[in-house]
Structure 1
Amino acid sequence: MSSDETKLEAALQAKGLNAPRLTPDLIDACIVDAQYYRFPGTTLTVCALTLRNGFTVTGESASASVENFDEVIGREIARKNAREKIWAFEGYLLRERLAAKADAERGQNDAVRVA
């Protein structure tokens, strides 16, 4: 979890914004494996994060000059970029679950009104 995520999470908690939502911990819990690859002769590093459902998300990093390339930093940036993509996928899944729940509740309410 980044320092920005920690600050945002604290602000949300302080305001009592606890409706169903994504959290940094939830995002991290989705990740079951990380693999890295640096393309030979380049500064391009790719991180492949495997999620608990088997889906793979990738992130990339590349230094504009080889003199500024650092493999550890390249991996960190590639992982951060891959992790950011998980937010969108998990957000979509959460929205689907909330919509399905609302549809089911409306269906139950409609059945009660008809009867």
Structure 2
Amino acid sequence: MSTDKQIEHEIQAKGLTAPRVTPDDIEAEIDSEYYFTAAQGAFQELSTCGDSSAELAVPKALHLLTFCVLVLRNGFTVTGESACASPENFDAEIGRKIARQNAVAKVWPLLGFRLRDALARGLATGA
């Protein structure tokens, strides 16, 4: 169970029922997600510029940096990243998971602000 899910379980077990942002709220807000490495982005940029040796020009270190872009329902985007220090440890799936986790962490304060704003205006009564 992820830490967010563990905390949510604890909140529910304690009967804390005031309006709040939940992990399910975060997931419901995500419309789509995209993943790529910095190497893929650099290769695309170099290729667009007509560099026929683009793949050779991309530093190996860029293959170790993974990005996640989350597109939210309202069209706003947030990004997360994951950098691997040792090339021998690079795992694309793990890199994507960490990058997504880091992007999701940026959504929490956005939805928290939205909820607090609604509470301040007296518009929110339940989660």
Normalising by structure 1, we get a TM-score of 0.82
Name the counterpart of 1:65: 86
Q: Percent identity?
A: 53
Structure 1, unaligned runs of 5 or more: 103-115
Q: How does 1:78-89 map to 2 (within 5 A)?
A: 78-89=99-110
Q: Distance in 2 between matches of 1:45 and 1:8?
A: 27
Structure 2, unaligned runs of 5 or more: 40-59
* Displaced runs of 4 or more, over 4 A: none
Q: Distance in 1 between matches of 2:38 and 2:79?
A: 14
1:93 aligns with 2:114: yes
Counterpart of 1:14 in structure 2: which amino acid?
A
Q: How does 1:1-115 map to 2 (within 5 A)?
A: 2-40=1-39, 41=60, 42=62, 43-101=64-122
In terms of Rg, which structure is larger?
A: 1
Q: Distance in 2 between matches of 1:38 and 1:90?
A: 27
Q: CA deviation at 1:44?
A: 0.6
Q: Distance in 1 between matches of 2:66 and 2:5?
A: 27
Q: CA RMSD in A?
A: 1.3
Q: Distance in 1 between matches of 2:6 and 2:94?
A: 23
Q: CA deviation at 1:39?
A: 1.5
Structure number with the bigger relative contact order (C-alpha 8 A, sep ≥ 6) is 2
Residues paired across the two proteins, number: 101
